Amino acid sequence: MVVTNNPMVKKELEGSLIPLLWVEGDYEAVLRKVRDLVHTGHQIISHPLVGSIKPYETPYRTVVISDWADSLHMTSLQTLEQVFSLLNSFKGKDGKLNSLRTYRDEDLPDLQLIDLDLIKPVMDRGSKEKQDEIRE
């Protein structure tokens, strides 16, 4: 399952076999949704901080998690705790991320593409696995 707030990822997955969970919100909203799903037994497949892009450098985040829920996966939960700790270290006294810049509308497609490019190999692998399941 793909959890994202990136319109380009959403468009990429249209008509695919990979389930999509769309999040209306910012980078942190995506991570909160992933954390909620991990608490219900999903596992993280792609690291929430994939690439060297810091949380304050982009408004987009895409995370791949398991389609199925089982028991609480402690490694996924610990990873998310570390991610939220890092995220909080980038927040100001007002509780908001200290962004190094304001995003211009013309920059957003580039930021969407970077997020898509970082997660696409994981999505492609998941799509191939889904197709193999259907053939069996």
Give residue limits of the domains in the chain: 2-134
Q: Percent of the chain, pLDDT > 90?
A: 63
pLDDT for the residue 100: 54
* Range 78-103 burial, b when 16+ CB lie within 10 A, else e: ebbeebeeebeeeeeeeeebeeeeee
What's the CA gap between 52 and 57, in Å, rounded?
10
- What is the identity of the amino acid at 83? V
Which pLDDT tens digit goes with each residue over 39-67? Answer: 999 999 999 998 888 888 889 999 999 99
Residue 8: predicted pLDDT: 98
DSSP tally for the chain: helices H, then strands E: 4, 3
- The Cα 40–Cα 67 span in angstroms is 12
